[in-house]
Chain A
Amino acid sequence: MNNNRLTDTICAISTPPGVGAIAIIRLSGADAINIANTVFHGKDLLKVPSHTIHFGTIRENNKIIDEVLVSIFKDKKSFTGENAVEISTHGSPYIQQQVLQLLLKKGAKHAQHGEFTMRAFLNGKMDLSQAEAVADVVAANSETAHQLAMEQMRGGFSNEIKKLREELIHFASLIELELDFSEEDVEFANRQQLKDLVTKLHEALHQLIQSFNVGNVIKTGVPVVIVGEPNVGKSTLLNALLNEERAIVSDIAGTTRDVIEDELNIKGINFRFVDTAGIRETTDQIESLGIKKSYEKIDQALVVLLMVDAVTISKEKLQSDVAKIRERISNKQKKMFVIANKIDKGNEQEVLQKFEGIDDVVFIAAKDNKNVEEITNKLYISVAEGLVNTNDTVVTNARHHEALSQANEYLLRVLEGLDQQITGDFLAMDIRQALYHLGQITGEISTDDLLDNIFSKFCIGK
């Protein structure tokens, strides 16, 4: 049975698998420095100060495995909140394995998945939402997602929630005070002030909840769908877009990431094309608008590109297709663009007249790459300016979203209760539920917390 507990010293290779220039092997636990010292030849690591880096060799029975740099982090001043050592080796997987095996021989335990983070969490270095954010950093595949995750790690998200929670605890304490200590000579909560506070909280949570939809798409990519009848040029457009963006991506300094097929990265935002395999295999995949399958794809996407043949489509058909999709996406945070393809094939006046009164039209000639750039601009702007506001806190985690939504539902009930002048016992019930759900993110709030708050602030007791 694995008996990895807080008392063990754990180690693992912390850089991604494969060959890199260097690799980092991390040790954490009470004996981290001791264990590293037994295999390191150079300075005596037990005597060096915290946050220093040392050059030396890792040896097994005097046989040199590698030349390394060793970083020392002492007591609580490390990522995990315990003694930690990071050994930077050369990148060969063979060397990495040799060093790791040696450390295991010397008494370290192989870390379980997420165990460094768990220790950081258990040692109070981060709260639950921060720990989840660490995982998000590792998985982040776009600039914005990374930013978001970093912000969470720095406590951006948890700090805001913490502040709200403090205020709600205070509010809850006042209500509990009123219920349990009504005989005491203390002043009780003013209902109007309470109402103002709950209204404020409600609005703040509402904003956080709203940000979820946005936050989630940033992490996984904004889903885009191209719909249209056969032979309007969907696959040509897709290829044109992807080729276009390959060029753009490589223009950004330091960006060496491969563009994953059917995924576009425009200035840090990922766009994911839904079900493009179908488009590539056969242009007959989407037979006509109005069939169930098209609707399903529209439902999966945040941005819909309705592609039409600018020349052959009739005005009536155009209007009815646009109306059908608009209806399908109404009241949702979705955006539709009409892509009028093959403009080079017809009379410009006629085409323009046909599209009069229809919003968000982009005229292109996909085959010649004409004006395709306009689509990428529109995609970026629709998300960056329409949906995303990176200054606001963004909720990226479904669990957080759920908890916030629940908390907010109960805050609404509190407001209703206040309007109906309901008594404190019932108000308290909904406040407790709101606190409980908030607690799902930042840790639980117990009755003892409320009582502690009361006893520290109010003179209670006959």
Chain B
Amino acid sequence: MNNQYDIIVVGGGHAGCEAAAAAANLGSKTLLITMNMDAIAQMSCNPAMGGIAKGQIVREIDALGGYSGLVSDKSAIQFKMLNRSKGPAVWSPRTQNDRMLFSKEWRLMLENTPNVFFWQDMVNELIFEDGKCVGVKTQIGIEFKSKAVILTNGTFLNGLIHIGEKQFGGGRAGARPSKGLTEQLVSYGFESGRMKTGTPPRVDGRSIDYTKMEEQPGDKNPGTFSYLDTTTKLTKQRSCHIAYTNQNVHDVLQTGFEKSPMFSGRIQGLGPRYCPSIEDKIVRFSERERHQLFVEPEGWNTVEIYLNGFSTSLPEDVQYKAMQLIPGFEKALMFRPGYAIEYDFFQPTQLKNTLETKLVENLYFAGQINGTTGYEEAAGQGLMAGINAHLKTNEKEAFILNRDEAYIGVLIDDLINKGTNEPYRMFTSRAEYRILLRQDNADVRLTEKGYKLGLASELRMKKVAEKKQHIEKIIKRFEEVSILPKEVNSYLEQQNSSPLKQKVKAISVITRPNIAIKELSLCNTKLSDETNLYTEDVLESAEILMKYEGYIKREKEVADKISRLDDIKIHDTIDYTKLGSLSAEAVDKLTKIKPSTIGQASRISGVSPSDVSVLMVYMGR
């Protein structure tokens, strides 16, 4: 039996899959160890990928050469571009997915990736040598050696499931928890904590009356996550539905409160404020008479549905009774009850910006073990951990994405500098350069970087080069072509835009609100001759760049100014306790986090602008 690998990935969820694929594609011989080969890339929570800010992450992963976008496209049953009316920076692709198909597609992708090897087992010990991680030991007593180990244990570390007063060990419903690793890491000096998340009941779709709900179909013109053409747009889609709770539902739920593990204090872990359980919602927002629920199909063919918004850990009989008071759910049958799960995580301030731990060299953490929530956040970290583990073990320079380059950069920077006290989810508001980090330009932002790493393919590189060229051509054309009042005024009036008095360049018309590139092009053959040559994606990007040029330029300037602080390196050897004028808190945080640049130091919570000035003074700036 071959027990020697370059990289070992522990855990086969979204983080583990991306980590294994990235490391293997870069050339590392990679072993993926999972407790259940049949449960690779399980969607333990809702059967959907993307969404606001998360859809941008999936596109970034795709642009870099990761697999989440492709797998999501292949298993999608519905596609929606969220926030269409809200402005291009927050347009966010989202798919409903066939849960079983998603898992199957990921497994096939990994099986078709040379250098990915599998082993089904539970890792319960890491092998350390001279402060380095050099392998793992499994439950059945096998030792695997490697140059680096990536832990992506998700909710499995000492996972504890709660339903009412019942509680039992589990990594998710129907799966055993993972034991041993937390204890070993804590004894080695790591700081661990508990977090909590929850999931709603799964319901028998045959027992639901959809006529009492609002239908939510997918987009008429669905898109895809991937920038490649290997996945195609959906030709048929499944709808979701919207239902609402009411006072009767709330009243019944309240009868279960004394048995609630949340309210009784049995759950100590911290849950996310933005993904509260239904019982939490009716307590915290008692003035609300109803709460919105999304009825989401779990696949093309299955009748199972996911009752999004009804996450709960109340006793299953209370869940049942309350659910049946929801209009449309009068006769609903349950497949699986909702539950809460508590699990161990490690404050991510213990990580470097490569996701390698500061305490143990060649040990990487990615996903929920770092206190995040969400498939996309996990996948993004997995990709970066996989890339960096490979680079480190091959003595190459680390791969870091900055905050103005990718949501993935924002994610990791936030985690390592601020830590988190609740499961961390990405929001567009977390990104200070939201205008730059759009879903339409993730390829322009990142594919070249992925290509240089050796992860994004030649084909991707060609595609993005072509896209850039096409965008330039369109913009040039709009700058050149003059448009006459008689050509365009009827369209302008129709859009409530003031008519032209004399001919102007097309670019000055496209910058007006409510004026769309396709419709405007129809007014002038010189324009339409040009725009007809290109794909919709290219037109969309060109339109955004022309329409919001001023904003984009200003945002870039701000980003450039701030990023200069990231160019000022801080040496590891600096002793913060020797800098008299620093605040005590800053000394503490700086010593702990060891920022590598002034920019990073400035983003650490507890480090004030005056502390940053002191640092700069000390460094002779």
Contact = CB atoms under 8 A, between A and B. Distances in A.
A438 to B, nearest CB: 14
Interface string B268-304: 0000111110000100110010011110000000000
A180 B82 CA distance: 10
B90 to A, nearest CB: 5
B428 A179 contact: yes
Q: How large is the interface on B (under 10, 10 to 19, 20 to 34, 35 or more residues)?
A: 35 or more
A40 to B, nearest CB: 29
B52 A459 contact: no
B513 A422 contact: yes
Given A6-B583, A183-B52, A459-B281, A424 B90 contact: yes
Given A2-B580, A5-B580, A421 B86 contact: no
Contacts of B587: 5
B525 interface: no
A48 B574 CA distance: 44
B174 interface: no
Interface in B415-439: 418, 427-430, 432, 434-435
Interface stretch (A312-320, A344-352, A444-452): A444-452
Interface stretch (A76-84, A134-142, A215-223, A427-435): A427-435
A429 B434 contact: yes
B180 interface: no
A448 to B, nearest CB: 8
A455 B271 CA distance: 13
Contact of B281 (A425, A433, A448, A461): A461
A417 to B, nearest CB: 9
Nearest to A8: B580
A179 B584 contact: no
B580 A182 contact: no
A423 B86 contact: yes
A113 to B, nearest CB: 11
B309 A180 contact: no
B434 A183 contact: no
B183 to A, nearest CB: 32
B435 A180 contact: no
A426 B273 contact: no
A25 B292 CA distance: 65
A425 B292 contact: no
A6 B588 CA distance: 12
A3 B285 contact: no
Contact of A451 (B276, B288, B291, B429): B429
B551 A426 contact: yes
A4 interface: yes
Contact of A179 (B90, B309, B605): B90
B373 to A, nearest CB: 11
Nearest to B53: A180
B217 to A, nearest CB: 15
A184 interface: yes
B274 A425 contact: no
A7 interface: yes
B275 A433 contact: no
B285 A462 contact: no
Given A182-B83, A425-B87, A3 B52 contact: no
A448 B421 CA distance: 12
Nearest to B244: A185
Interface in A403-437: 420-426, 428-429, 432-433
28 contacts: A1-B580, A3-B578, A4-B581, A6-B584, A176-B427, A179-B52, A179-B87, A179-B428, A180-B428, A182-B83, A183-B51, A184-B292, A422-B87, A423-B85, A423-B86, A423-B88, A424-B90, A425-B87, A425-B90, A425-B428, A426-B435, A426-B551, A429-B551, A444-B609, A447-B430, A459-B284, A461-B276, A462-B309
Interface of B: 46, 51-53, 82-83, 85-90, 272-276, 281, 284-285, 288, 291-294, 308-309, 418, 427-430, 432, 434-435, 513-514, 548, 551, 554-555, 558, 577-578, 580-584, 587, 605, 609
Given A423-B85, A429-B554, A451-B430, 19 more contacts: A1-B580, A5-B587, A6-B584, A176-B427, A181-B274, A423-B86, A424-B90, A425-B88, A425-B434, A450-B429, A459-B276, A459-B285, A460-B274, A461-B272, A461-B273, A461-B309, A462-B293, A462-B294, A462-B309
Interface of A: 1-7, 112, 122, 176, 178-185, 420-426, 428-429, 432-433, 444, 446-448, 450-451, 455, 459-462
Closest 3 CB pairs of A and B: A423-B87, A425-B89, A425-B87
